[in-house]
C-alpha cells in the first residue's frame, strides 16, 4: 500500500510540472525597446576622421522608426542637407538606414532606453564619407520652452555688453520651417543696448539636436541672430555661441553670447 501511495505522489508531481506548476519550463523574451519620440542629438565618434553630430526628429511608432535628421561639423555632408531615415525595432535593437545622400547611405544600430541610445554607424557608397564608421551616443533633448537669460558681449571697442531675456515656446517637429526642426515662438527683452529694447522671435528660430538658432526682429527694425549649441543636450539648460546684428541702428555688430534657462 505504501508503494502505491509513493507512486501516486510521483504522478501528481509530474502532472504539476507538465502544467507549468514548477515554472522552470516557461521562457520569456525581453520587451521591445520603446524610445521617446522628439528632438534627438547623436554624437558620432569616427574611427578614421573627425567627430560630428547628428540631430533632429527621431520617432518610433510600434516597431517602425522614422525621422528627418541633419549632420553638423562633417567635412562631407552639408549641415543644410535634410536626411530622411527609416528603420525597425527588434527586441532591444533599433536598426536605421538613411536615404541616399550625395551618393552615400548611413546605417546605424543602437540600443538603450527611452531617452538614451548607444551603438555603431557605418557609411557606404561612393561619396566623400564612404567607408567611415564609428560609434554613436544619443540623447533625447528636452523641450527648451521657458525663460532664458544671458549676456551678449560685443566685439566692438570696449566690449559692451547687452543683457538678454528670451521667452521661448518650442513647437512640434517641422515647425522650424524644415523637416526635423523644432521652431520657436516668443519675445525678447534687452538691457544695456542703445539700439533696441524689445524683439519678437521669427520663423527662423529653431533647435535641431543640440544646435540652437534664435532670430529676433527688434523694435529698431533690425534683426539679431544668435547661433549656438547646448552645453549638455540631455538637460538643455545652457547654450553658448555667436551673435550678429543685421539692419537697424546697430547693424554690423557681432560678438559672443550665452543663455541659461531659468
All structural domains of the chain, each given as residue ranges with its CATH number in brackets, are: 38-140 (2.40.128.120), 146-261 (2.40.128)
- Give the up-direction half-sphere exposure of residue 112: CA atoms within 13 A in the CB hemisphere: 18
pTM of the predicted protein model: 0.87
Q: What's the rounded mean pLDDT across residues 113-138?
A: 96
Residue 126 has pLDDT above 70, yes or no: yes
Give the other-Cβ count within 10 Å of 68's Cβ: 20
Q: How far apart are CA 236 and CA 139, in angstroms?
A: 11
Distance CA 246, CA 253 (A): 8
Q: Is the pLDDT of residue 4 over 70?
A: no
256, 241 contact by CB (below 8 A) = yes
Question: Exposure pattern of 101-116 as b/e (b: 16+ CB <10 Å)?
Answer: beebbbbbebebeeee
What percent of the chain lies above the pLDDT cut of 70? 89
Write out the three cell numbers for 64: 517602425
pLDDT at 62: 96
CB 66 within 8 A of CB 37: no
Instruction: State the CB neighbour count (10 A cutoff) for residue 47.
Output: 10
- Please give the radius of gyration of the chain, using alpha carbons only, rounded to the nearest integer: 27
As beta bridge partners, residue 119 has 110, 136
What would the pLDDT profile of 190-241 be if each residue is shown by its tens digit? 999 999 999 999 989 999 999 999 999 999 999 999 999 999 999 999 999 9
pLDDT at residue 54 in the model = 97
| Distance of alpha carbon 195 from the chain centroid | 35
pLDDT at 29: 62
Amino acid at each position: 500500500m505504501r508503494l502505491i501511495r509513493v507512486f501516486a505522489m510521483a504522478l501528481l508531481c509530474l502532472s504539476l510540472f507538465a502544467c507549468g506548476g514548477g515554472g522552470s519550463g516557461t521562457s520569456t523574451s525581453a520587451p521591445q525597446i520603446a524610445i521617446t519620440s522628439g528632438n534627438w542629438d547623436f554624437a558620432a565618434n569616427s574611427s578614421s576622421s573627425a567627430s560630428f553630430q547628428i540631430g533632429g526628429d527621431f520617432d518610433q511608432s510600434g516597431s517602425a522608426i522614422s525621422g528627418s535628421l541633419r549632420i553638423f561639423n562633417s567635412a562631407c555632408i552639408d549641415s543644410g542637407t535634410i536626411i530622411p531615415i527609416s528603420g525597425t525595432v527588434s527586441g532591444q535593437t533599433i536598426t536605421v538606414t538613411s536615404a541616399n545622400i550625395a551618393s552615400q547611405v548611413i546605417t546605424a544600430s543602437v540600443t538603450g532606453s527611452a531617452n538614451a541610445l548607444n551603438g555603431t554607424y557605418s557609411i557606404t557608397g561612393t561619396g566623400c564619407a564612404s567607408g567611415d564608421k564609428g560609434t554613436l551616443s544619443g540623447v533625447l533633448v528636452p523641450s527648451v520652452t521657458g525663460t532664458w537669460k544671458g549676456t551678449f558681449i560685443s566685439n566692438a571697442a570696449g566690449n559692451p555688453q547687452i543683457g538678454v531675456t528670451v521667452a521661448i515656446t518650442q513647437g512640434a517637429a517641422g515647425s522650424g520651417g524644415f523637416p526635423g526642426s523644432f521652431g520657436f515662438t516668443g519675445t525678447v527683452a534687452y538691457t544695456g543696448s542703445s539700439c533696441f529694447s524689445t524683439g519678437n522671435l521669427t520663423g527662423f528660430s529653431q533647435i535641431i539636436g543640440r544646435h540652437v538658432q534664435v532670430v529676433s526682429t527688434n523694435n529698431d527694425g533690425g534683426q539679431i541672430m544668435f547661433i549656438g549649441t547646448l552645453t549638455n543636450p540631455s538637460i538643455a539648460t545652457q547654450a553658448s555661441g555667436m551673435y550678429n546684428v543685421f539692419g537697424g541702428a546697430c547693424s554690423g555688430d557681432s560678438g559672443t553670447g550665452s543663455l541659461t534657462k531659468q
